[in-house]
């Protein structure tokens, strides 16, 4: 199963980090990334740009573009990971690994339901006898 882990944080806190503090957090996160990549279960991961550069499309029809994300909380979505794990509990364990090195972040875990018109759903588990999984 594919899962998205959405990384939330108070944007002002992240922006207040010195380059050294930011590099230390990123070094810790990269260790988790390297382990996941070694296991073959890490998909795209990204740190998103500042919310001041974000916009929201909402409303009926073609919608209206509004500056900013207009979240209901102080935490903003700052990045995401896409990874493959067999169970929700395994995905939560990865989020806990990430949180150990970035303890003030909040991580939201969601299953990904991917639909590409005209394409079959992706196979997210190894075929029997493949030695992978």
Burial 109-128 (b: 16+ CB within 10 A, else e): beeeeeeeeeeeeeeeeeee
Which ranges of the chain does DSSP label H, i.e. alpha helix? 11-16, 19-39, 88-101
Report which of 65, 52, 44 is spatially closest to residue 11, judged by C-alpha positions.
52
Give domain 2-111's CATH superfamily.
Dimeric alpha+beta barrel (3.30.70.1060)
Domain ranges of the chain: 2-111
Instruction: Calculate mean pLDDT across residues 121-131.
Output: 44
Three-state secondary structure call for residue 40:
coil
Summarised one tens digit per residue, pLDDT across range 22-81 is 999 989 999 998 999 899 888 888 887 777 777 777 777 777 788 876 655 677 788 888
């Amino acid at each position: 199963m594919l899962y998205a882990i959405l990384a939330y944080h108070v944007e002002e806190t992240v922006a207040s980090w010195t380059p050294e503090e930011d590099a230390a957090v990123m070094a810790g996160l990269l260790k988790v990334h390297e382990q996941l990549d070694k296991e073959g279960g890490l998909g795209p991961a990204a740190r998103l740009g500042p919310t001041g550069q974000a916009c929201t499309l909402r409303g009926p029809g073609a919608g209206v573009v509004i500056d900013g994300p207009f979240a209901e909380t102080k935490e903003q979505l700052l990045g995401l990971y896409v990874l493959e794990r067999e169970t929700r509990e395994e995905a939560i364990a990865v989020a806990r690994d990430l949180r150990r090195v970035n303890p003030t972040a909040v991580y939201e875990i969601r299953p990904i339901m991917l639909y590409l018109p005209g394409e079959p759903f992706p196979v997210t588990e190894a075929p029997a006898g493949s030695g992978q999984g």
